[in-house]
Each structure stands twice: as structure tokens, then as C-alpha cells.
Amino acid sequence: MFDVTAFTADLEGTQPIPRCKAALKNAGAYLDGQFHAGVEAGDLIRLRARFMDALLGTLCDCQQWPEQFALVAVGGYGRGELHPRSDVDILLLVGDDSESCREPIESFLTLLWDIGLDVGHSVRSVAECRDAAASDITILTNLMEARVIRGSEALMAAVSQAIAPDNMWPIGEFFRAKMDEQQARHNKYADTEYNLEPNVKGSPGGLRDLQVIGWIAERHLGVAGIDDIPSGEFLTPDERRILQRGREFMWRVRYALHMVTGREEDRLLFDHQRALAELWGFEDGDKLAVEQFMQLYYRWALALGQLNEVLVQNFDQSILAASGDDELREINERFRTRNGYLEVIDPNLFRQYPPALLEVFLLGAQDKSILGIGAPTIRLIRDNRHLIDDHFRADPRNHQLFLDILRSPYKVTRQLRRMTRYGILGTYLPEFGRIVGQMQHDLFHAYTVDAHTLEVIQNMRRFQKADFEERFPVSSRVARRLPKIELLYIAGLYHDIGKGRGGDHSELGAVDAERFCQQHGLLQRDTNLVVWLVKNHLLMSAVAQRKDISDPEVIQQFAQHVGDQHRLDYLFALTVADINGTNPNLWNAWRGSLLRQLYTETKRALRRGLENPVDKQVWIDEARNAAIDILEYRGFTLEELDELWQERGEDYFLRERAEDIAWHTEAIAGHHDKSQPLVLIRSSNDSSVANATQIFIHAVYTPQLFSRVCAELEQLDLSVHDARIYNANDNMTLDTFFVLDTDGASIAEDGARLRHIKEHLSRSLGQDGGKPSVVQRLTPRQMKSFAIPTETRMSVDSIKHVSVLEVASPDRPGLLARIGQVFVEQDVVLQAAKIQTLGERVEDVFFITDEDDQPITDPARCEAIQQAIRDRLDKQL
């Protein structure tokens, strides 16, 4: 048993500072030990508040105070809750003669700081408390939770009277202000419980959501706090259990965060997530321990977020009813709306007619005037969701209702999110229930699997709206001509549903998708399409981002796999929606241009007929002839062009546009000092280069050149998104880099910066230089938390007679320059490269040879090259 007096008995007398420090240390160690022993966090934070009361009270007694004074605990401390490293918030309440308190206040606060307490304090009179609370609702709520530790209870009673609802902030104003405050706070965390690094206090579903309920209850019902809300209309016994268990979980998480970090830390940062997963006893298995812990966290956050929603609606309806503003509208014989919120007419409806558990969401998707579902009906949904059993799932009426939701005109994603929030979607589709709250412990995926899935469907819905045409011009046109849009939604619903089970999630999801389609009576050809989409949902992005889509053989191979325009359209829409739903920072104009190029070329191949593949030489001749047309107009002869191009390989004419070939050629012809590099820069709005800036370099080949260029680009705060390397037999190299700013923004309009880049590269590359100066910026904290080992793979391309080296690794400063250094050290010649930065991850492909321009086939040498790259990159992390 925690005995406060055992820690505070010896604080008075001489040398109070070391004694107080010892008391704080001993009490903290004791409470932490109790935490490890399994004592509930709620008991521990209350014990800590009691200990702090005794400590502050004892120190307060050492001062000479006037009669009109009170030491008051406010905020969370006022509620009697104090986490290990939380600020100790106090109010020094003074009477009219505030001057007589100045000296003891200064002495008291100095003592608190000297003993190491983080104190949040204010000094106010009753009148000042009243004025501050009237103008700032945050101060009002702090004072609502105040309690006297030492001093005049009458002073505090005067404050309580001054801030009462009859005198300021009546319940209607208070409620609206708190809802605005809550929405602003939720928006700060993207309005989702599923933040990658949630704040246990402030994020949706966090402790602050429960505190808001307590404040409203105190103001509206006159109760002391959330624990005193009476059972019945406002809080059911089941909700009380959720509240108490969920709050204890969140308290325990917050206590552990403070304990393991040694500071007031409320953010569940990635490295802290691992520490807490260990504290909770999770171990790696089919799912990582950290993923198991975070799934538990997200499910509790979802439950508490739902509880906040229900109780807020209850208070809202109660406040409206008190003002006589209820507005009723009958929808059908089962449902009506009250003030825009859907409710059942008969509370026994779901028990008597279980299909209404789906119908309630269908009505919300068919009538855009319906704002949501009323709190009493949400409770009934939750209390009756057990009726969704195998018999319910086999009922054709329910199959039709679910498909009708997907085919509805309004708020489809919002209904699916509500179905998830209220436990209906995961119960109707148990396979979806398994992914609710399942995090993907990397920086590539910004959401849990279920949140990502619903975000993908939201993107599919956006393709239908005029407001998003500018962002998704091609996807919008493609999606609008899909004959059955619900098939796209079903594919989106199932594309990642197999994650977390081990094995290929695409194959596992395809099995679930086929079962769903068959159970819901879809035509066989529609079933086949959905299954194919789920199996192949990663294919289009992989081809666009990792293969040379300027090569007609790559296009032909992809077109053969797709088979027809119908599949291509669905796959394109699914791919764009998936990338945008994975990470908001992942989609940019460059990535969009790659997918559009692959879509367009594949469409042409399908229209031409798969039995009529285009000859690679035809593409080469078309590019050459188009460039000749441009250059002849500028005075070049065929003989001059043949001489300039005789060292150019076929890849150059396959991958470069005629306009760029002409641009390069004219510049090279006019550049007479071959010992100095030629640097060209331009930006274009052409779809093939999107908003990226092209940097073209023609220079004498040296093994260090690629590494030097990459190092210089990084020093210039540029991020490489594609690199095309062409080495010629005349000992010259022609390289094209497509770059954006390091934050992903275009630099196309910044003329001064473009000139600076050109001048810097011309100067630095023109100097004799050995080993490049690799950028030494610190690796970002989040990437350090995901120090995933670099993956490499080597193979031989027998057609192009090169070795293909694939490198997948977390991105970090100087990565390309370091890989280039390894090539130099290992006597590797870089022939070409395809650089792809996917959010915080890179998947780069390098086409390399030995010094004799032959593929590297010796297994020992291949392994040595790969090991050197892994060592160099992983050592940096």
C-alpha cells in the first residue's frame, strides 16, 4: 500500500531541497515498480496526485500566507490525475490584497523549481479568474476541475460561483465551443484514430476525447466528472465498461510513455511503440510484436472515438430538446430522422428485422440530406450486431442491401467508415474484421490496413467528382466509363484484405474476393474480373516504376498479361486509387506521368492487336526521324547527324523523346571544349516529364562521375526521381536526371535557382576531383526507427547483355552517391539506371557491366558487390 506520509514525513526543517528531491525520486521509483507489478495505471496516477498534494501542502505550510489565499490544483492535477512526468498545474488564488502574497509566492515557486518540479502556475484573484474564464474556454475548463490543496475554500467557492453556467458560457455556447475545439484538434491529427504516430492524449480516440465528455457532463448535468454521469439515457452500463477499460488502457500507455522516455511524452513514436510492445509482452510471430500492440491501441482508440461520438450526440440532442428545436421526418415505416440524424421508429426493429442493420446505412447513402445516425440508434446497432451470423450472411436480402450500398450515389465511403466504426462491416465480412486496426510497421504505408482500404475506395469515389478532375484527369475519365463501378469498389475492398496472415496477400485476398462474389450472386465474368484485379493490383505500379516502359517489349509483355482494354481500365483506376491511398506524399505528377505513359502505350498495343507487336526498330526509327525533322529545320545535314549519333546506342532512341534528342544534339554540336562538361537544364509541362526538371550532362566518362553528380545534386537540395545513363564508345557519357526539390515540389518556375544549379554543376564537375563529397545530413528520426536492412538482387539481362542490380532500401541522404562510390571501388561500369523514390523507400535498378562491358556473372563477385552496397548503406542507418 502506498503510504504518502512515508515519503513526506521528513520534508520540514533544514535542507528541504535534497529531502524533497529524494522523496520525489523514491515515490517515482515505487510507483514505477508497482506499474511493472501490474497495478492499474489509474490507481498509480491518483496516488501520485495524492503524493503531490502532500508534498506541495507541506512546502506551502512553510510559508507565511495571508488569510485570503488558496493553493489550488487545476487541470488534470485538479481531477486528481498526475502522470509520472506531467506538469503540476496550480493556481495561486489571492484576495484583494495581492501584494501581501508576493513574497511568499516567489519563495514558494522558487522552492518548487529548485526541487525539479515542472510547474505550470498562474496567480489570479477571483475577479481575474472570472474575466479570464469568460474570454477563454480552456481556462474555464481548467477552473471547473480545480480543488483546494491549502488555504481558503471560500475563495475557490467564489470562483466556482463566478464561472457557473448562469453567469457565463451557458451549456449551448459551451457545447458548441468545445465541439469546435475538438474538431480543430482532430483535424490536427488528420481526423483519424489511425495516425502512424498517434498522440495518446490529443488524437481522436485519445484521453482528451473522454475529458471533453466529462466537461460537457459537468456543465450540463452538474456532475463532478465523467465517472459520475448517471446510467440510463446518457451512459449505458456497456458504455461505462468501455469507458473505464479504454481509459485505463490509454492511461497505461501514457504512463508507460512517460516512464520509458523520462519526460512528458504523449506521442507514440515508432521507437516508443517497440518499447511498449515489449512491456505489454507481445512477441514477433506472423505479425510483429509492435503491430500486435498497435492493433490493440487502434481498436481501443476506435472504441473510445465511437463512445465520444455517441455521448456528444446524446448531449446535443438533449440540449436541442431542451430548447424545443426537434425536427422529425419520416423516411419509411422503419426509420425517420430527428434533426437530420437517422433513428429507428421501433427500438425492437433490429431484433425483429435484422436486415435493417444494413438498411440503415443504405438509407444514409441514398439520401444526401441525412447527416448521420442518431446516438440511440448507434447503441441499438452495437447491441444487436451479434445478430449478424452465418444465417444473416447467407440471406440474399442482405447480399442485395450490401451491393446496393456500393451502388449508391452519396457518401458511400462515409457509410463504409460508419459500418467499420460501429462493428458492422467487420462482422458482416469477417475477413475485413481481421484487418481492423492492423498497422503496417513501415513509413511507406501511412494508414492501418482497414483505413487504407477505405481511403482507396474514397479515391475511387473522387474519380466520379468534378472537384477532383484536375488532380486525376485521366483516372476520372477512365473510371466514369467503367460499366460497373461497384466491381472496382469490391476489388478495392479486397485488394489488401489478405495482409497479416503470412504468404502472398494478393493471392489470399483473391480467394476471399472470389468467395464474396459467388456468395453475392455476381456473374462469373464479373467475379473473374474482381479476382484478377485483386491478384494483380500491384502489377501496374511495379511495371511503371521498375521497368523501362520506353521499351516496346516491356509494353508488349504487360499488354499480354492484361489481355484487353476492359481489364486495363479497371486496373488503372485501382492502381491510381491504391497509390494515393497508401501515403499522401507518395503521389506526384512524376509518378502520375509514368502510369499514364504505361496506360497509353498499353492501350495502343491492345488496339493494334497482341498478335501484332511493334518492332523495337520501328520505335527507334520513329524517334530518329522525328528528331531529324526538327534538326534539319535548324540547319543540320543527315551526314552531320549520323556522325553525332554513331556512338548512341538503341536505348537512347528508345527512351528519349525526339524533342529532347534534338535539344541534346544541337547543344553537343555547339560545345567544342570536350574537356569541360556540358550542362543543360530545362523544365517542361509535357506529360512524359511531368513537373520534374531535366538536368542533362554530357561529359568525359570517369568511373566517379555518377557518384559525383548525385552528391552535387544532393548538396543542391534536389531529389533524383529518374536517371538515364548512356555511356558511348567515344569515352563520353550522356546522362539525364529528372529532379524535384527534396520536399517533392517542382523547381520549374524558379529561374534563379535553375541558373544556380547549372553554374554549380558546370563548375564542380569541370574541376579535377576524386572521391565526391557525400552529403552528411542527419538521417531523419523516423527512418532511423525503420532501419530495415537493404535488399539487393542481381541477374543478367541476356537481351541487353548487362547485369541488372536491384537495390531496395529506406531512403536517406547521400544514398545514390554512396552506391556510386561502391561501383568505383568494385570496378563496376554503370551503363544505365532507373531511380525510383517511393515515399521514404527507394527501389533502384542499375544496369552494370565489368570493365570490358560484359555482364558480371561470377557468383563471388556478384555477392561481393551486393555485400559492399548493403554494408555501406546499412552502416549509415
Torsion sign across C-alpha atoms 382, 387, 389, 394: negative
Check whether residue 368 and residue 477 sit in a common domain: no
Mean pLDDT of 393-406: 97
Beta strand 372-373 with 341-344 is: parallel
Output the nine-digit C-alpha cell for 304: 473510445
Q: Give residue 512's domain range.
A: 429-612
Give the pLDDT of residue 656. Answer: 87
Check whether residue 192 and residue 208 sit in a common domain: yes
In 756-821 the beta strands, taken as DSSP E runs, fall at 791-797, 802-810
CA distance 360 to 335: 8
Give me the count of residues in the chain.
Answer: 877
| Complete DSSP assignment for 338-377 | ETTEEEESSTTHHHH-TTHHHHHHHHHHH-TT--EE-HHH
Mean pLDDT of 566-580: 95
Q: Is the pLDDT of residue 870 over 70?
A: yes
CA distance 583 to 837: 13
**Dihedrals phi, psi of 832, to nearest 5 degrees:** -165, 165
Assess if residue 174 is contained within a domain. Answer: no
Domain final position from 355, 382, 411: 411
CB atoms within 10 A of CB 21: 14
Assess if residue 15 is contained within a domain. Answer: yes
Three-class DSSP category at 702: coil
HEC profile of 562-580: HCCHHHHHHHHHHHHHHHH
Domain final position from 612, 638, 657: 612
Check whether residue 155 and residue 118 sit in a common domain: yes
Sheet of 732-741: strands edge to edge?
678-683, 693-700, 732-741, 718-727
Output the nine-digit C-alpha cell for 836: 525510383
Check whether residue 636 and residue 737 sit in a common domain: yes
Output the nine-digit C-alpha cell for 62: 512553510
Lowest mean pLDDT among 10-24, 312-326, 648-662: 312-326
Assess if residue 335 is contained within a domain. Answer: yes
Name the nearest CA neighbour of 451 among 468, 469, 432. 432
Reported confidence tier of residue 173, pLDDT bands at 50, 70, 90: very high
DSSP 8-state class, residue 64: -
Work out the angle between the directed axes of helices 126-135 and 137-144 (0-180°, nearest 10): 130
Lowest mean pLDDT among 39-53, 152-166, 305-319, 329-343: 305-319
Residues 129-163: tens digit of each pLDDT: 999 999 999 999 999 999 999 999 999 999 999 99
- Categorise residue 423: left if φ over 0, alpha if ψ from -120 to 50, beta otherwise: left
Check whether residue 772 and residue 662 sit in a common domain: yes
CB atoms within 10 A of CB 633: 9
Q: Is the pLDDT of residue 312 over 50?
A: yes
Check whether residue 61 and residue 106 sit in a common domain: yes
Assess if residue 650 is contained within a domain. Answer: yes
Mean pLDDT of 808-837: 84
CA distance 189 to 180: 15
Check whether residue 72 and residue 104 sit in a common domain: yes
Mean pLDDT of 297-310: 92
What percent of the chain stands above pLDDT 90? 60
What percent of the chain stands above pLDDT 70? 93
User: Which residues make Cβ contacts (< 8 Å) with residue 98, sequence separation at least 6?
Assistant: 123, 125
CB atoms within 10 A of CB 585: 12
Domain final position from 612, 637, 665: 612
Lowest mean pLDDT among 78-82, 693-697, 785-789: 785-789
Give the pLDDT of residue 9. Answer: 61
Check whether residue 549 and residue 563 sit in a common domain: yes
CA distance 224 to 200: 24
Check whether residue 568 and residue 470 sit in a common domain: yes
The helices-and-strands tally (H runs, E runs) of the chain is: 39, 17
Check whether residue 517 and residue 547 sit in a common domain: yes
Mean pLDDT of 406-425: 94
Please state the pTM of the whole predicted model: 0.82
The CATH number assigned to the domain holding 294 equals: 1.20.120.330
**Dihedrals phi, psi of 803, to nearest 5 degrees:** -90, 145
Three-class DSSP category at 803: strand
Beta strand 119-125 with 88-94 is: parallel
CA 615 vs CA 455, 557, 560, 870: distances in Å: 41, 13, 15, 39
Give the pLDDT of residue 687. Answer: 42
* Domains of the chain: total: 5
Reported confidence tier of residue 682, pLDDT bands at 50, 70, 90: confident
Give the pLDDT of residue 784. Answer: 57
Lowest mean pLDDT among 57-71, 426-440, 675-689: 675-689
Give the pLDDT of residue 281. Answer: 94
Check whether residue 97 and residue 204 sit in a common domain: no
Residues 417-435: tens digit of each pLDDT: 999 999 999 999 999 999 9
The pLDDT mean for the chain works out to 88
Q: Which residue has the cell 484514430?
A: 193
Q: Is the pLDDT of residue 492 over 50?
A: yes
